[in-house]
Structure 1
Amino acid sequence: MSPEQIGFALLYLGLFLLIGKWIRMRSSLMQNLFLPASVIGGFLALLLGPEVLGRILGNFIGEDSFWSTGILTSEIMEVWSTLPGLMINIVFATLFIGTVLPNLKRIWDVGGPQLAFGWTLGWGQYVIGLLLAMLVLVPFYDMPPFIGALIEIGFEGGHGTAAGLQDTFDELGFPEAYDIAVGLATVGILTGVVAGIALINWGVRRNQTQVITDVKGMSPTQKAGIVEFEDRGEGGKKTVRAESIDTFTFHFTIVGLAILVGYVILRGITWLEAAVFGSDFMTYVPLFPLAMIGGLIVQIFVSKFDTSELVDRNTVTSIQGFSLDILIASAIATVSISVIGEYLVPFLLLALFGVAWNLFGFFVFGPRMMPDYWLERAVGDFGQSTGVTATGLMLMRVADPEMKSPAAEGFGYKQLVFEPFLGGGLVTALSAPLVFMWGPIPFLIFSIVMMTVGIVVGLFYFGKRKLE
């Protein structure tokens, strides 16, 4: 494949992202669903690509026709299919760069209830998924046991994590898990938004909210995804002079260094495992969770030696957001509908049980674990547990537009402990390989223990505080 073809494929993806943003600005339905342009553009590309338009036209024209792949060529699809696995490394490498950790007491007091709640939902997804796999999917549909891990991978991890594990699923001998996981991530984000808005409306009607009395307070500009004029800042800071290196370029090199550190760690652990134990478990582990650790290591050095404050968190966040938009759009555009159709019943069962568990957790554990502002807090974690972090943040913004509750602060603190493990962290990345190598029962037992820890701490420690 030539560099020109790769470059054109990237430009073509940018066009779909632009169209997705235009649709978001023009469609009231897309605004009410709060769907990002990357999801809209990705779906549009999926519909106009070989999986939908190509199959429809294939009934009337020959397989060698240009239109047999829709309006997307096979070269474009080949480039797009590799993007998610690359971009996820950037997304995770940027998680800690430029951040400042608050004191541990503040993290525990404010973020602890949401950590216990999110911990319960996350590990519960493994419990539900593995039980479903062992009792139904493995014996009746001849699927591998690690299929039960896809609920947490798809819902908590989202499109990025699912895409990042594509090579891992190939190594484990069931590449179809990639398409199922991406499909679950899509179901999750749609369900998270729709159900989350419905839950907020329910809370308002039942007097369960403490901040708002209606959910119609967002302006048309906000719903269109446009920042109000008076709220527009100047973006990232210019921390270095352009004649030496551009600020964006400088921060990109920092992110690249974090990924390189993660790569060296992964190679070192893989070599050490093979030399000492003679096993190959780490060969199944993707790079992105180690890139996150690389970012943490880089941030430790930045905090200690960056006396000129060259690293700007807003610029790092922009790099992360750019990578995530590319990742989501390309992941959705290249999903195989035929694979999901082949495993439609298992796919629907995983989605149904995953959503049911999250709703159960919201209504049963949410009000009993949160010492105050339970709905404002719980709806954010419900959104993340169903449709990734961005969904949770959006729902908290709807429930608490002026951030009068501790929901957003607690959610941020919770992420510092939660993200390194669940929601795309180490556990999410290692879950499928661990189940593959050791079987589902040990991981199921461990998940039950971890879920129980979340329930006990949430109900009997943080839940008691509201009675004091």
Structure 2
Amino acid sequence: MIIYRTDPIYRMGTIIRQLKFLFLEMEGIFISFMIAFGLASIMLCLGIIIRTKVTFIRKMLVPASVVAGLLGLILMNTGLITSTDSEMYVSMVNFLFTITFISIALTSSPKSKTSGSIGKSIAKGSLGLGFHWNLLYALTPAVGALVILGIGGFFGMDTVYGLLIPFAFAQGPGQAATFGTIMEQQYGIVDAATVGITFAAIGFLFCFLVGVPLAKLGIKRGLAKNLAKSGIDGYVERGYYVKEEKRESLGNETMYSGNMDTMTFHFAIIGLCFMLALGMAQVVSFIPGVGATFSGMLFIYGMLAGYLVKFIMKKLSIEHMLDNTFQSKITGWSTDYLVVTSFMAVPFSVIGVWMVPIIIEAIVITILTIVICVYFGQRIGGENDFERTVGLYGTTTGTVPSGIALVRIIDPSLRTSTAVELGLMNVPMIASYGTVVTILAIASGTLSLTIGILLLLAPIPIYLIILKVFNVWGRKTYNFKPKNVENVEELKSVVSK
């Protein structure tokens, strides 16, 4: 009997075979994901051990996630790992970044109990830090593009890759992966996500290689007023608590475990928000012209979904079912894995000779960042300007958590308002949205490079005027001259600890 392609039984068999192939393909992707996750976890365990045992790394207070990332970077480029690849880690960076923003949105802002004067100081610091960040965010892509324009030709690297630096340095690996992926998928810029994540990985390195010595110089010069007497707490240097030390709480149970575990509920809400974010992105994709570009910014929709769910829970009087402290720990979990997977997403085989111009641009931007952070940080106008300087540098070469990590070197108990200001600076940072649009317009070919660079630099005078008007660009409040030291021997002993 001859079976024709139109026969229902034949067609059913074809469909079954296709579904089987799809299932096997999905199974392969899932296995690759779990292996990638497992390798990142192993690197984190090794990072904790190295951070604890290696004196230099312990004294530099380098987070275990950064150490783990470097180990993973080496491992993934040895050619020994074939069951997963750098593309899987790029995808993980994108998803973890979205989860981080969802978790941030689900975390309630604590009600302010500060007095009027302290509140004004926080508002002033947040405004100053935010617009200093905006200043760097507008300046660094212009400088980065010019650097690659000057040297990129010798290495076959297009100038457009230099525009990725603000997403990586000023925002971190998540944004670098997000906008790099948009440039790849929408504008055909090959390996843009990989280049962006490479910039982000280098940024994390420079964050601590420069930030820790900067903090310790301030200690030596007597600028760390909240550290001079107490020194660096043991757990800060060790990176973990011993049995006898007082520890922070992980939060409170909000669910009866016989019904559902509290952790399960929190991750279920995150999963709900993630699906809502995918739906929002799909709706935006239908907008003519810009839909394809803006639908790729999944983290924005994740944040909006988080706020929406939190709002609904508040209206239903069930907001208490999400514990703030535990939710912040989820944010920390996603951030740690975000850092290590960012390093493991960098393939030397793809970057190749581009690594030279990438490193040169990163060094130039780091120097520029140091100069701007120190110059303007000295002039915000407050008793905690040095802490603000260190935190701003950490944030503009990594993320807000890395900025806070540097602040804790000089203010272990976070007695100053700097950590709060680093969080609230996200409000004035909204003004930088025009920079994102300009960079994407250059990448898409809508704007020429010359006009694009001029547009990138255009808001800088406005930012400077705002800094002057709101009195966050004034006289120096501190300097690094030794005359500020009241007890040199005591402070030297603190630095040596």
Q: Is the 8 A contact 1:124 1:357 kept in 2?
A: no
- Would you say the 8 A contact 1:193–1:387 is kept in 2? no
Q: Report the count of equivalent residues.
A: 440
SS of 2:49's equivalent? helix
Question: Match of 1:177?
Answer: 192
CA change 1:185–1:370 in 2 (3 A) is farther
1:359 counterpart (337, 362, 370): 370
Aligned residue number for residue 227 of structure 1: 241
- Once the two structures are overlaid, the 10-residue window that deviates more, 349-358 or 115-124, is 115-124
- What corresponds to 1:319 in structure 2? 330
Compared with structure 1, are the counterparts of its residues 4 and 109 closer, same or farther at alpha carbon in structure 2 (3 Å cutoff)?
Answer: closer
Indicate how the Cα distance of structure 1 residues 428 and 23 shifts in structure 2: closer, same or farther if over 3 A, else same.
farther
Determine the structure 2 residue equivalent to 1:448: 457
| 1:63-97 deviations in Å (ceiling 9; x for gaps) | xxxxxx22x22436564453222222111212221
What SS does structure 1 have at the residue aligned with 2:471? helix
Q: Aligned-pair distance for 1:376?
A: 1.1
Q: 1:434 to 1:263 in 2, by over 3 A?
A: farther
What corresponds to 2:107 in structure 1?
A: 98
How far does residue 354 in structure 1 lie from its aligned partner after superposition? Answer: 0.9
Matched, 1:202 2:217: yes
Q: Structure 1 residues 210 and 431, CA, compared in 2 at 3 Å: closer, same or farther?
A: farther
- Correspondences of 1:315-464 after superposition (within 5 Å): 315-418=326-429, 432-437=439-444, 438-439=446-447, 440-441=449-450, 443-463=452-472
**Matching residue's letter, 2:409:** V
- After superposition, where does 1:64-213 map in structure 2 within 5 Å? 69-70=79-80, 72-75=81-84, 79-100=88-109, 108-133=123-148, 135-136=149-150, 143-171=157-185, 172-213=187-228
Gaps of 5+ in 2: 1-26, 478-497
1:212–1:239: structure 2 CA closer, same or farther, 3 Å change rule? same
Post-superposition Cα deviations, 1:326-357, rounded to whole Å, max 9, x if no partner, equal 33222312311133332134212320221121
Matched AA of 1:111: S
Maintained 8 Å contact 2:400/2:423: no
Matched to 1:403, the amino acid is L
User: How high is the TM-score relative to the length of structure 2?
Assistant: 0.78
Letter in 1 for 2:134: W
Whichever of the two has the greater Rg, that structure is 2
Question: Counterpart of 1:65?
Answer: none
Opposite residue 452 of structure 1, the aligned amino acid is P
Pairing 1:290–2:301 present: yes
Cα 1:333–1:385 change in 2 (3 A) is same
- Per the TM alignment, residue 319 of structure 1 is displaced from its structure 2 partner at its CA by 2.1
Q: 1:346-388, CA deviations, whole angstroms, 9 ceiling, x for partnerless residues?
A: 2123202211211110232111233332111111011110122
Matched, 1:306 2:317: yes
Structure-1 residue corresponding to 2:58: 31
Q: In structure 2, do the counterparts of structure 1 residues 443 and 298 end up closer, same or farther at CA, with 3 Å as the change threshold?
A: farther
Task: Tell me the secondary structure at the aligned position of residue 426 of structure 2.
Answer: helix
Q: What is the letter of the counterpart of residue 396 of structure 1? A: V
Where does residue 14 of structure 1 map in the other structure? 41
CA distance in 1: counterparts of 2:339 and 2:183, whole angstroms: 18
Q: How many angstroms does 1:141 deviate by?
A: 5.6
Q: CA deviation at 1:152?
A: 0.8
- Contact 1:145–1:436 (Cα < 8 Å) also in 2: no
Counterpart code for 1:15: I
1:285–1:430 Cα contact (<8 Å) kept: no
In the alignment, is residue 247 of structure 1 matched against residue 262 of structure 2?
yes
Choose 149-158 or 439-448, whichever is displaced more.
439-448
Q: Aligned partners of 2:273 and 2:431: how far apart in 1? A: 18
Contact 1:111/1:413 (8 A) holds in 2: yes
Tell me the amino acid that sits aligned with residue 297 of structure 1: L
Task: Go from structure 1 to structure 2 and tell me whether the alpha carbon gap of 1:336 and 1:206 turns closer, same or farther (over 3 Å shift).
Answer: same
- Segments of structure 1 that go 5 or more residues without pairing to the other structure are 54-68
Distance 1:265 1:198, change over 3 A: same
Q: Structure 1 residue 185: deviation in Å?
A: 1.5
Question: 2:486 is matched with which residue?
Answer: none
Q: Which residue number in structure 1 is paired with residue 491 of structure 2?
A: none
CA distance in 2, matches of 1:347, 1:264: 36
Cα distance in 1, alignment partners of residues 254 and 398 from structure 2: 35
Residue pair 1:85, 1:163 contacting (<8 A) in 2 also: yes
* Alignment pair present for 1:43 and 2:73: no
Residues in 2 aligned to 1:298 and 1:317: alpha-carbon distance in whole angstroms: 17
Q: 2: distance between equivalents of 1:359 and 1:244?
A: 52
| Contact 2:178 2:296 (C-alpha < 8 Å) held by counterparts | no
Residue 442 (structure 1) shift: 5.2
**What SS is found at the alignment partner of 2:206?**
helix
Aligned-pair identity in percent equals 22
Alpha-carbon separation, structure 2, partners of 1:391 and 1:308: 29
SS in structure 1 opposite 2:328? helix
Measure the CA separation in 2 of the matches of 1:175 and 1:224.
42
Distance 1:248 1:384 in 2: 29
Q: CA deviation at 1:446?
A: 4.1
Name the amino acid aligned to 1:227. Y
Q: Which amino acid aligns with 2:459?
A: M
Q: Partner amino acid for 1:387? A: G
2:464 maps to a residue whose letter is I
Q: Which is worse superposed, 17-26 or 340-349? A: 340-349
Partner of 2:15: none
1:200 & 1:357 partners in 2: Cα distance?
18
SS in 2 for 1:231: coil
- Kept after mapping to 2: 8 A contact 1:269/1:282: no
